[in-house]
Structure formats: C-alpha cells, structure tokens
Amino acid sequence: MIKKFDKKDEESGSGSNPFQHLEKSAVLQEARIFNETPINPRRCLHILTKIIYLLNQGEHFGTTEATEAFFAMTRLFQSNDQTLRRMCYLTIKEMANISEDVIIVTSSLTKDMTGKEDVYRGPAIRALCRITDTTMLQAIERYMKQAIVDKVPSVSSSALVSSLHMVKMSYDVVKRWVNEAQEAASSDNIMVQYHALGLLYHLRKNDRLAVSKMLNKFTKSGLKSPFAYCMLIRIASRLLEETEGGHDSPLFDFIESCLRNKHEMVVYEAASAIVHMPNCTARELAPAVSVLQLFCSSPKAALRYAAVRTLNKVAMKHPSAVTACNLDLENLITDSNRSIATLAITTLLKTGSESSVDRLMKQISSFVSEISDEFKVVVVQAISALCQKYPRKHSVMMNFLSNMLRDDGGFEYKRAIVDCIIGIIEENPESKETGLAHLCEFIEDCEHTVLATKILHLLGREGPRTPSPSKYIRFIFNRVVLESEAVRAAAVSALAKFGAQNDDLLPSVLVLMQRCMMDSDDEVRDRATFYMNVLQQKQKALNAAYIFNGLSVSIPGLEKSLHQYTLEPSEKPFDMKTVPLATTPITEQKTEMAPVASSKLPEKLAPSRQDIYQEQLAAIPEFQGLGPLFKSSEPVQLTEAETEYVVRCIKHTFANHMVFQFDCTNTLNDQLLQKVVVQMEPSEAYEVVQYVPAASLPYSQPGSCYCLVRLPEDDPTAVSCTFSCTMKYLVRDCDPNTGEPDDDGYDDEYVLEDLEVTVADHIQKVLKPNFAAAWEEVGDEFEKEETFALSSVRTLDEAVGNIISFLGMQPCERSDKVPENKNSHVLFLAGVFRGGHDVLVRSRLALADGVTMQVTVRSGEETVVDVILASVG
C-alpha cells in the first residue's frame, strides 16, 4: 500500500517518471528504514530499486555513503521476501567496487548458495564470486565444484559463468575444476552446455593438443545448443588458422557440415568462419556463399545485414564468387535499412561490370547523407577499389569524392576520402591537378589538423612539379595565416619545397618565409629560419639534402644513439651514419588501397621489427661491440613444411659482421633437444667467429640459436656467399605425455637447406621523395654505367620486379609501376649500403627481343658502385 501511495505522490510532482527527480541524499536518508524492525519488504524493495536506479544513471557514490548504505542493506537478509533478497544480490554486485568491506556478506551468500531455495542459489553464486578474491575462492572451492555439476540448470550455469569470470584472477584455482566442467558439458540443458564449453576452452586454450581433443569429442558427440555450436566453430577455425591446417582437415569438414545445421545462427557462424579463412578457394567458398545468398531474402533485417556484410567481405578478395548473388543484392539496394542498402551497393560495385558503375553511384548518392560514418567509409573504400579496377572512371569518382568531402562527417570518414583521392592522384597522373585542387579547397575549411598537415605535405611534394605551381602558394600561405601551430609548420615546409624547386618562385617564397620568421610559435619560426638560410645558398645539393629528402634514420634509433653519445663524451662529432636506418615506410608507395583505414597506423605505434631485433641481439653478450644493427632480412625457411624440425633463418647485417638467427621448433613430442647449434660452411672468404647455441628445445616451444660471421675485409666487393647449414644437437627421448626426458641422450644432426647471402642483405631501402634532387646531391664523382641484356625476361614489369628484389632497394617516384603499353621505362632505386653510404640506381629499360637494361649507379663511395655493378653482371 505504501509503495502505491509513494508513487502517486511522486507522479503528481514529476510527470510520468517516478524516478526523474531522485535526490541521492534523500534516497540514502530513506535507506535508514532498513534498520527498522520488523522489516517492511515493499518499502525496502522500493528504496533498493531507487539506489540501483541512481547507480545506473551514473550517479557518483562516495565510499563512505556507499559503505553506509551497503551495511544497512545487509540487514535485509533477515527478510524472506524473494524479490527483496534478489535485489540485495544486485545491490551487492553494483556496490562491489564502491563500498568497503563488501566481504562481510560472504557467509550470508554462501548460505543462500548451498540452501534449499533454487531461486536464490544461482544469483547468490554470481554475487558471491563478484566479491571474492583468490584466497577466499579456495574457501568456497568445494561449493563451487558441487554447484557446477548441480542438476538445476540456473545453478550450474551461474557457477560456470562465474568461474569463467574468475579465470583471469585465479587461474590456478579454477583449473582444478576441469573435471566438473567436463561433466557439465554433457548436460541436457543447452545453456549449461554452452557455458561449460566456454569455460573448458578458456582453461585449455594454451594447450593446442587438449583443445584439439576437446573439439574432436564434441564435434563427434554433437551438441544441442546453437550457442555452443557457434563457439565450437570459432574454436575450430582458430585452431585451423594456428596450425595452418589444410582445408582437407576434419575441422574444416566440421565447419562445413554446420552449414546444414537447423539454426540460422549456426549456419551463419559457419559461413562467416569459412569466408574469413585465409586462402580459401572459390570452390570451398561456394557453399558458404550460397547460404548467405538465401539469407539475403530473409524477412529478418539482422540476417540480411549479416549476410550482405559477409558477402561484401568475400567480394573484396573473390569478386567472382559473389557474382551469383548479384540479383539478390540488386533487390537489397532499396532496402529500408540503409546499412543493408549501402553494403549491397558497395558489394555490387566490386562484382559488377564497368557499365553498372554510373547507375550504382547515382543510387548511392541519393542517400549517402542518411547513413552513418562507418558506412560512408565503406562506400569510400569501394570507390577506391573501383578506381584501381577501372582507371578510366576516375573522373566520375573524383567528382563524387569531392562532393562527399564537402559534406559533414567525422575524422575517419574525411580521412578515408583524402586517402582515396591521394590514391587516385598517385595512380593516374592526369588526375593530379583536379585532385590537388579539390584537396586545396578542402584544407581551406578543415578542422582536422592531421588531414591538413597530410595534404600540405602532399602539396609540397607534388605541387612544385605541376605545370603551374604558383597557384598552390596562395592556399598554402593562407594556412600560415589562419591555422594552428602544427598546420603552420607543415605549411612552411611545403612552401620551402616550392622555393627549392622553382627558381622563378624563389624570391616570393623568400618574402613569405621572412614573414613566417615572425611567427609566435617556436617550431614555425625555427623551420622558417632554417629553410630561409638553406634557400638563400641556392645550392642544389643542399636543397636536396635538407628540403626535399629529410632524415631517413629510425627515430628511436636516433634517440638511443644521441643518448649514448652524451654518456660517452668524445672529441669526435656525432656521426649520423652510426644511427640505424628507418625501415622504409610502406605508406608512401603503397599500391594496394583496398582497406583504406587499416594498416597505416600500426607501424607507427609499435616499435619496428628491426628495433625489436636490435634489442634482442644487444642482450646477448657475444654480440656486444658489433655496432648498430644495419638490416634484418625477412625470415628464410631452411626446412620443408611438416618436417620433424622447423628452422627458419633471419640474417642480421652489421657494419663488418653478420649474425644469423635460427628460429627452430621441435615438432616431435617424444624428444627434447639440447645444445642446439646450426653449423655453417661458407663458400667464400667469410669467417665463422662464434656459435651461440639454444640450451634446450622442448616439444613445440620455439627457440633461437645464433651464428656470428665476420665479413671479408680484404675484398669489400665479395658480398654474396652461400652457406651450407647443418643443425647439430643432443637428443634426449622423453615421455610424450609428461614431457619427462630420459637421463641419457645422444648426438645427432639434421641437414638444412643452403642459405644465400646476396647483395640485397647489404643494402637498406631508403625512400627519396624527390629522386632527382637526391641524384644531384650525390653527384657524379663515382658514377658508373653499364648495359646488360636480360634475355630471359619477357616484360618490363617482370624486369622491374626482378631488379627490385635482387638489389633490395627502394623504388622511388612510383617508378616500380610500369605504365601499360610502353616499350621503355626508367626505374629509380635508392638505398643505403652497409657502412652508411647512400647509393642510387637509375635503370633505363627497353623492351625489344627480351629486355635491355642500362644501369647507372651513383654513390659517395667508389667500392659501393663497383659492388652493385659487379653483382648485377
């Protein structure tokens, strides 16, 4: 009665929401009635509801007030009102992190969890685990084990899910409950089955063998729960990926069989798993695609959405596999759910023919403003893929993109458009001027610093080399006047490039620079002063070194070297050549544009692969004093796949040495290998200095051993060498189940494939954004030229590819892309030779009968030029 009365009271005051004007302090005041005897369950329930409501609204509770309310609440356990008790559990969970001493309810909860009231037991377990830590968990371990195998599903499920939450904190305790979880997995209840499977997997996920056994068991016995099936499919596809299992594996068969499951959820999960598998053939995809096709006409929006989203993914890699669904996708173009319509259109853009492009683009522009940014990005990605496929359509696309650029939208969306336009400019030189014009217009009113600086950088690189560079100056200088520091600084750098490239613009650029030198920001002033001084020298070499092509060293490496230098003061000036080079940023010349938003940032965030190797090698005492790591190669496999031992080698090049790192994996579970070394026999005058063995190599745990080799000093041109490699080790047989090895062992060896060291191992790629300037900078003092005939090569593309991979140098000015239908081509390559000498290669190719190649090499060091030419010949 009182509850009803209360409500009326509040309703008259605050409209339809009785909770609208709740005051925390008033509610806490009310909570005092928790202490009254006898307990009034209805009123107390209402107050608890208010407290949880407030917490739910994000109201902040101080520790003291929360603790006070919590302790008052504990008294309510005396009441036997079911709903009230359940609300107490909720309050405990909600307050577990804000109140102190919540563990005082442990005994009450333990009593409820083991009591007779089934309605209490499940929720009590979950509340109890919420406030329990590892030590207390051991005290209730016995009850947990019993609860997991309890015949009441809600109790068993609660215990399993709570155990899963506890795994993170108390793995060692929970893993003792595996047998109980195993028993629960054979329960008839579908949710219990699902939860047991999830817990079992979490406990075993690091033991591939156990996971595989578990999969085997459940896929054979069959489960009733569709959720559990989805989980099984995920586990199976993960295992397939990890073991690089072929698609003839029983796991793949299992996933495929799930395409015929009676639950749509399971069918979809299986189809999605197959679609996401790497290296699926069109034939393997076909059954998955055809179930997705069926889903396209489902009355359920979620299912249509799921299907078309997955088909969209398939279309990225296998457009032809999706063409069969084109008709179904056409029907979805007008779907009232715009997300579905967008996905359908972008999928069609990937699978359809060139003729349908205009129609689809028109369709999509009719509702592009209605869809969320996420899907706008999907549209932009589709456009960018399209531009690669149909370069002739770039003017239509460019128009569309510039309209999108003017619309409202968030950062990711705008970035995707800008990336796409930049991609088009780089692919199609004839679109450069229109593209730059659109971007100039965009930065006139652009709130995203990152994009503005990116575009300014691009303008600096491309603008000076257009027919009328002067028209960009205005856009750039406007930035200096109007924008934030970062943008102003970028604008100054761009201006400098115009001055350096175009003599007739130089006087005006100098005037503008003069103005920038009065900027309020340090960085802007510094840049302006620096460029001003460089430009005034009017020397091509200086311009090239300091304006066009910046530093190519690794920034963390530079930091480390400078720190080292300050620790050991010396008379010698700091030598930039001792700083490790940056591994070339792939972003500059990336040709694959498909996932626009992906893969650009990760490299910037994580330390580069080479920085990691540098750290690892520096930690090995034998490799002290080798100087900075110059280059690390990609791993080379020295064994066939599926052999007893898997060995791959990474070649690390230093100034006068090489370190060969052998990553070995022992795939025999009845052997333990010890003192593993890879013995190397060089074919040339290379000298093996030292081996660093891997102490022990247990089953399936990779380990590394190393070999240090000195490069021949007397003959600097001897850069290539072949090593024959043999792995030597001590074998100790062991019990496959326990891993316990025998006491005795015997020596054995295993012959590996030969390892080649080539000229590419001595050269690090360096990108010169302005190759011509760099060419002038190095000068022709040691220039050499030779002509070769490549008789076995049939196309220019092939020749370009061969040269790049052979020399291991960085193609510049996008010269790795040979325009179609051309008979000649010039390839520009840049790199740094071991020891820190810049080396540039210009290679003119002509296609006649085979390919004729004229190679011109420049470097600051004569031997380097000789090495290159000698290795080509």
**Does 457 interact with other proteins (rule: CB under 8 A)?**
yes
**Does 247 interact with other proteins (rule: CB under 8 A)?**
no
* Neighbour-count burial of 455, counting CB atoms closer than 10 A to its CB (0-12 exposed, 13-18 middle, 19+ buried): buried
**Does 86 interact with other proteins (rule: CB under 8 A)?**
yes
Distance of CA 845 to the CA centre of its chain: 38
Site for other proteins (CB under 8 A): which residue of 177, 375, 723, 833?
375
In whole angstroms, how close is the CB of 294 to other proteins at the nearest point?
Answer: 14
**Does 6 interact with other proteins (rule: CB under 8 A)?**
no
- The window from 64-72, 322-330, 429-437, 601-609 that contacts other proteins (CB under 8 A) reads 601-609
**Nearest to other proteins of 84, 664 (CB atom):** 84
**Does 301 interact with other proteins (rule: CB under 8 A)?**
yes
Tokens of 673: 């290998």
Site for other proteins (CB under 8 A): which residue of 145, 238, 317, 525?
238
Residue window 252-271: x/- pattern of binding to other proteins, with contact defined by CB under 8 A? ------------xx--xx--
What residues contact residue 330 under an 8 Å CB cut-off, 6+ apart? 344, 348
The CA-based diameter of the chain, rounded to the nearest angstrom, is: 105
In whole angstroms, how close is the CB of 337 to other proteins at the nearest point?
Answer: 4
**Nearest to other proteins of 367, 574 (CB atom):** 367
**Binding residues among 774-833 for other proteins as defined by CB under 8 A:** none
Site for other proteins (CB under 8 A): which residue of 27, 39, 45, 259?
45
- The window from 223-231, 663-671, 803-811, 848-856 that contacts other proteins (CB under 8 A) reads 223-231
What residues contact residue 545 under an 8 Å CB cut-off, 6+ apart? 777
Q: How many CB atoms lie within 10 A of CB 574?
A: 13
Site for other proteins (CB under 8 A): which residue of 48, 88, 280, 799?
48
Q: How many CB atoms lie within 10 A of CB 691?
A: 17
In whole angstroms, how close is the CB of 518 to other proteins at the nearest point?
Answer: 23
**Binding residues among 336-355 for other proteins as defined by CB under 8 A:** 336-340
**Nearest to other proteins of 234, 540 (CB atom):** 234
**Does 454 interact with other proteins (rule: CB under 8 A)?**
yes
**Nearest to other proteins of 45, 649 (CB atom):** 45
What is the distance between the alpha carbons of residues 630 and 872, in angstroms, rounded to a whole number?
Answer: 22
**Nearest to other proteins of 241, 780 (CB atom):** 241
What is the distance between the alpha carbons of residues 810 and 276, in angstroms, rounded to a whole number?
Answer: 32
**Binding residues among 490-529 for other proteins as defined by CB under 8 A:** 490
What is the distance between the alpha carbons of residues 632 and 610, in angstroms, rounded to a whole number?
Answer: 6
**Binding residues among 541-600 for other proteins as defined by CB under 8 A:** 595, 597-600
**Binding residues among 189-218 for other proteins as defined by CB under 8 A:** 191, 194-195, 198, 201-202, 205
What residue has token string 């001897």? 718
**Does 166 interact with other proteins (rule: CB under 8 A)?**
no
- Tell me the residue type at 609: R
In whole angstroms, how close is the CB of 654 to other proteins at the nearest point?
Answer: 30
**Does 719 interact with other proteins (rule: CB under 8 A)?**
no
In whole angstroms, how close is the CB of 578 to other proteins at the nearest point?
Answer: 25
What is the distance between the alpha carbons of residues 649 and 633, in angstroms, rounded to a whole number?
Answer: 9
Q: In sequence order, what DSSP letters do the residues of 393-457 get, joined into one string?
A: GHHHHHHHHHHHHHS---HHHHHHHHHHHHHHHHH-GGGHHHHHHHHHHHHHT---HHHHHHHHH
In whole angstroms, how close is the CB of 529 to other proteins at the nearest point?
Answer: 19
**Nearest to other proteins of 480, 711 (CB atom):** 480
Q: Give, in order, the Cα–Cα distances in Å from 773 to each of 287, 454, 550, 551, 647.
A: 56, 22, 12, 14, 44
Which of 347, 437, 329, 413 lies closest to 386 in space, CA to CA?
347
- The window from 107-115, 334-342, 496-504, 564-572 that contacts other proteins (CB under 8 A) reads 334-342
Cβ–Cβ < 8 Å for 707, 623? no
- The window from 83-91, 466-474, 797-805, 806-814 that contacts other proteins (CB under 8 A) reads 83-91
CA atoms within 13 Å, Cβ hemisphere of 415? 16
Distance of CA 523 to the CA centre of its chain: 32
Site for other proteins (CB under 8 A): which residue of 276, 465, 675, 817?
276
- The window from 332-340, 635-643, 672-680, 710-718 that contacts other proteins (CB under 8 A) reads 332-340
**Does 82 interact with other proteins (rule: CB under 8 A)?**
yes
**Does 412 interact with other proteins (rule: CB under 8 A)?**
yes
**Does 119 interact with other proteins (rule: CB under 8 A)?**
yes
Cβ–Cβ < 8 Å for 830, 812? yes
Site for other proteins (CB under 8 A): which residue of 30, 67, 72, 90?
90
What is the distance between the alpha carbons of residues 347 and 344, in angstroms, rounded to a whole number?
Answer: 5
**Binding residues among 51-80 for other proteins as defined by CB under 8 A:** 52-53, 56-58
Cβ–Cβ < 8 Å for 196, 160? yes
Site for other proteins (CB under 8 A): which residue of 305, 472, 475, 782?
305
Site for other proteins (CB under 8 A): which residue of 114, 449, 856, 863?
449
**Does 165 interact with other proteins (rule: CB under 8 A)?**
yes
- Letter string b/e over residues 608-630, b meaning 16 or more CB atoms within 10 A of that residue's CB: bebbebbeebeeeeebeebebbb
Site for other proteins (CB under 8 A): which residue of 126, 318, 657, 842?
126
Cβ–Cβ < 8 Å for 282, 318? yes
In whole angstroms, how close is the CB of 164 to other proteins at the nearest point?
Answer: 6
**Does 235 interact with other proteins (rule: CB under 8 A)?**
yes
In whole angstroms, how close is the CB of 488 to other proteins at the nearest point?
Answer: 12
Q: How many CB atoms lie within 10 A of CB 792?
A: 10
Phi/psi for 226 (5° steps) reads -65, -35
What is the distance between the alpha carbons of residues 648 and 641, in angstroms, rounded to a whole number?
Answer: 11
In whole angstroms, how close is the CB of 442 to other proteins at the nearest point?
Answer: 17
Binding-site size, other proteins (CB under 8 A): 84
- Letter string b/e over residues 208-223, b meaning 16 or more CB atoms within 10 A of that residue's CB: eeebbebbeebbeeeb
**Does 715 interact with other proteins (rule: CB under 8 A)?**
no
